[in-house]
Amino acid sequence: MRVLVMLDGTVTDAETPLIRVDDLGITRGDGVFETILVVGGKPRELGPHLDRLARSAAMLQLPVPDRAAWERCVQLVLDNWQGGDEMALKLVYTRGPEFGDGSPTGYAMGLPIGEKVRAARESGVTAVLLDRGYDPEIVARAPWLLLGAKSLSYAVNMAAYRHAESVGADEVIFVATDGSVLEGPTSNVVTATGNTLRTTPPSSGILRGTTQGALFRAAERAGWVTKVEPMTVRELKDAEAVFLASSVRKITRVHTLDGVVLPDSSALHKELNALYESEY
């Protein structure tokens, strides 16, 4: 089952066409989104997700999202959900119809968790490194490139997934032209070595991770050292374990990287997932 609630509170079904053909979300990929995991009726990291939606909207110079309206919209999805214990909750916010009254388009969708997600959570994934084509030094001085905004213009991310599939991989880790590690198309990269967890910084033009953030909070309390700093491909490959953090897939173990089978990190994966779950 799926639930759809428009930002104005209209509850409806996801099959009914509700978007105009001239919506700039479709004609220009001009909007932002978030995907939130809901477990047992409780959205995880809703605050950080709404914060990030607002940051992305600011980068695209969209109208400031009405936080109270989004919170009501999310609650209506939760109230109307009759699916399983878990739900993927997607928020979409566009600049609205090009020939409309200037109002943005906003909606929230509640979606079931797919089989592929469950498989990735349990068995881990094969990942390939793909060049993302930019140098992080450009991030600060070229804000029009929208690096670090979760925009609807995700065609490149989807193409990267298709490329991965064509070489037998499940996942992608993007690499910058200076050889530094960036992020996955829909995840953050986390490595573990000794008692240190590392991830790459938003200053590299990547999204600040909500799930990575939750994991690091819990890990810090449990005595782990956490670092958010640039990481070379060499450091990634030399790490004791590599994980991808995403809201819906949670902490996913990378068992094979660029064709090389990594040491078994099942036990560590269990430990980190337990830490992450301890936040809820």
Report the nearest approach of a second copy to the CB of residue 19 (Å).
4
The encoded tokens of residue 145 equal: 């490139």
Report the nearest approach of a second copy to the CB of residue 204 (Å).
13
Is the Cβ of residue 53 or residue 111 nearer to a second copy in the bound state? 111
Report the nearest approach of a second copy to the CB of residue 60 (Å).
6
Judged by the rule CB under 8 A, the positions of this chain that interact with a second copy are: 2, 4, 14-31, 33, 59-61, 90, 92, 94, 99, 107, 109, 111, 130-135, 138, 141-147, 149, 151-160, 162-163, 177
Report the nearest approach of a second copy to the CB of residue 109 (Å).
6
Is the Cβ of residue 204 or residue 265 nearer to a second copy in the bound state? 204
CA atoms of 23 and 26, how far apart (whole Å): 6
Is the Cβ of residue 141 or residue 194 nearer to a second copy in the bound state? 141
State phi, psi for 49 to the nearest 5 degrees: -65, -45
Is the Cβ of residue 122 or residue 131 nearer to a second copy in the bound state? 131
- For 81, 153, 176, 192, 205, the CA distances from 141, given in Å and listed in that order, are 44, 20, 16, 32, 11
Cβ atoms of 233 and 179 closer than 8 Å: yes
Is the Cβ of residue 52 or residue 132 nearer to a second copy in the bound state? 132
Cβ atoms of 265 and 136 closer than 8 Å: no
Is the Cβ of residue 171 or residue 253 nearer to a second copy in the bound state? 171
The β-bridge relationship of strands 42-43 and 188-193 is unpaired
Cβ atoms of 190 and 243 closer than 8 Å: yes
Helix (H) or strand (E) holding 267: helix 266-277
Number of other residues whose CB lies within 10 A of the CB of residue 209: 27
The encoded tokens of residue 92 equal: 């979409």
The encoded tokens of residue 40 equal: 């047992």
Report the nearest approach of a second copy to the CB of residue 28 (Å).
4
Is the Cβ of residue 57 or residue 275 nearer to a second copy in the bound state? 57
Report the nearest approach of a second copy to the CB of residue 156 (Å).
6
Report the nearest approach of a second copy to the CB of residue 53 (Å).
14
Number of other residues whose CB lies within 10 A of the CB of residue 153: 15
State phi, psi for 196 to the nearest 5 degrees: -120, 130
CA atoms of 161 and 9, how far apart (whole Å): 34
| DSSP bridge partners of 126 | 256
